[in-house]
Amino acid sequence: MAARENYGERVLGVEPYGAEAIPMAERHGRASSSFTLWASANLNILTWFTGSLGVSLGLSFTWAWKAILLGNALGAVFLGLTAAMGPITGEPQLISTRSSFGLRWARLPAGLNWITLMGWFGVDVVIGVFALQHLTALSYLPSLVLLAGLTVLAAVLGYNLMHLLARLTTIVLGVMFIVMTVLALLHAPAAARTGHGNLGLFILTTSISFAYLFSFAAVGSDYTRYLPQSASKWAVGGYSALGGFLVASWLELLGALTASLGTVAHPMAQLIRMMGAFAVPALLAVVASTVPVNSIALYSGALSSLAAGIPLRRWVAALVTGGVGTLLMVAGGGSFASLYRNFLLLLSYWIAPWLGIVLVDFYVHRHQGTARRGWPAALAFLVGIAASMPFMDSTLYQGFIAMHYLGGGDASYGVGMLVSALLYGWWGLAPERRRG
């Protein structure tokens, strides 16, 4: 253990810690670092594309901006709540799940998160691959291998390098998206006159924006667990929520605005058309922007695999996660917009019930949990998923309530979280308190 206690603030050394709690001697950093981490994670073209989905489906910009702000505000709250756990527990997010689920049952959400993050990496890296193909003579496969390799390197080196990249890319990429915003605003008056209002589309657009930012809540403490235990949990949570909300809302509103000006099927084609003379630097920024967010997917995917019981070193698990995700995209294809929209919605189907339990355990039960009998959490988790099914809407499955009463909108995340939180909260009480 002594050999591990020298990581400090080194950037180029391989991070030695994995599933274990971070020792007090290794704690460092400031709460404000959470702001740039989550700002940079959302400063990418995929966030912009996320905002365009509602308008491309027919929702007016007048309704889309309200749905985007509402969805991101809700998602940011939950990101902040999980990020605030890091300095207190010193543990990765899915490892701390053991407090409520127990060692055996915690492997279920950990395994699901590992799969989710591999999919997230695959879906996100392909945007950078498209941009790299426009810039160079490289074909799809070499572009994918090059970009995936850079991302894997960042995830292998780990925590300190990823926070440094976040600080740098927040500035560099922020400039590019400011230029995009100015160009889009020149045509803004025409945007408000397109599309129409529709309850189902409003709920769907809110769900998409919520799911995008909310999905990061499953890894919130992974990037705050090195902070000193004395760091204010409200400051840590506040900076995390603010960084995610401001940038995700900004870029999604930009995406909705540009889609209102005339939708182009492929995100790269839409970007090139809008940026004009700035297309080349914009494409370079798109390539660079995929590294911070995808390194998060691989880094947290590796930690989740350890929580699932896979006996690997953290850096080896990052290599495996990146390798599998890359292979998935080698065989990938189909309609990008349709695939991505449904992937975002599928994220919330398991994360929401799980998070309801985790929040009750940490903030209500004070992280005392039911680890000796993890079945209450596991059962509440499964019941929460089952209760949310009538409210689901995707190409794979459409629930009765979503189809007949919500106009195709997806409200499953709220139902799943509420049901699992209430069940676990009740089961987690001592028998005498339940009777009382």
For residue range 358-390, list pLDDT tens digits in order: 999 999 887 654 455 688 899 999 999 999 999
123: in domain: yes
Please give the residue that has the higher pLDDT: either 226 or 276. Answer: 226
Task: Reduce the secondary structure of 138-176 to three states and give it as a string.
Answer: CCHHHHHHHHHHHHHHHHHHCHHHHHHHHHHHHHHHHHH
Q: Is the pLDDT of residue 242 over 50?
A: yes
342: in domain: no
Q: What are the φ and ψ backbone dihedral angles of 21, each rounded to 5 degrees? A: -65, 145
Please give the residue that has the higher pLDDT: either 163 or 61. Answer: 163
CA-wise closest residue to 119 among 349, 416, 383:
349
Beta-bridged to residue 59, according to DSSP, are 196
* Biggest CA pair distance of the chain: 71
Q: How far apart are CA 381 and CA 266, in angstroms?
A: 37
Percent of the chain with pLDDT strictly greater than 70: 86
85: in domain: yes
Q: Which residues of 139-148 are buried (b: 16+ CB within 10 A; e: fewer)?
A: eeeebbebbb
Q: Which one-letter amino acid corresponds to residue 390?
A: P
Q: How far apart are CA 346 and CA 374, in angstroms?
A: 25
Write down the pLDDT at residue 345: 57
CB distance 203 to 411 below 8 Å:
yes
373: in domain: no
At residue 436 the predicted structure's pLDDT band, cuts being 50, 70 and 90, is very low
Q: Is the pLDDT of residue 313 over 80?
A: yes
At residue 30 the predicted structure's pLDDT band, cuts being 50, 70 and 90, is very high
Averaged pLDDT for residues 33-57: 91
19: in domain: no
Write down the pLDDT at residue 368: 57
362: in domain: no
Tokens 């810690």 locate to 17
365: in domain: no
Write down the pLDDT at residue 344: 54
Distance of CA 99 to the CA centre of its chain: 23
Q: Which one-letter amino acid corresponds to residue 141?
A: L
Q: Is the pLDDT of residue 339 over 70?
A: no
Tokens 């979503």 locate to 402
Q: How far apart are CA 111 and CA 4, in angstroms?
A: 27
Write down the pLDDT at residue 217: 95
Name the residue range of residue 233's domain. 28-337
Task: Reduce the secondary structure of 66-118 to three states and give it as a string.
Answer: HHHHHHHHHHHHHHHHHHCCHHHHCCCHHHHCHHHHHHHHCHHHHHHHHHHHH
Please give the residue that has the higher pLDDT: either 34 or 61. Answer: 34
CATH value at residue 241: 1.10.4160.10
Q: What are the φ and ψ backbone dihedral angles of 393, each rounded to 5 degrees? A: -145, 110
Distance of CA 253 to the CA centre of its chain: 18
Q: Which helix or strand (DSSP H or E) is residue 137 part of?
A: none
pTM for the whole thing? Answer: 0.90
Q: How far apart are CA 366 and CA 69, in angstroms?
A: 31
Query: Which are the contacts of 370, defined by CB distance < 8 A and separation ≥ 6?
Result: 100, 102, 376, 377, 427, 428
At residue 233 the predicted structure's pLDDT band, cuts being 50, 70 and 90, is very high
Neighbours of 402 (CB within 10 A): 25
Tokens 């189909």 locate to 334
Write down the pLDDT at residue 45: 83
CA distances in angstroms from 274 to 181, 183, 258, 366, listed in the order given? 10, 7, 8, 50
CA distances in angstroms from 23 to 8, 28, 159, 318, 346, listed in the order given? 11, 11, 15, 22, 36
349: in domain: no
Q: How many domains does the chain have?
A: 1
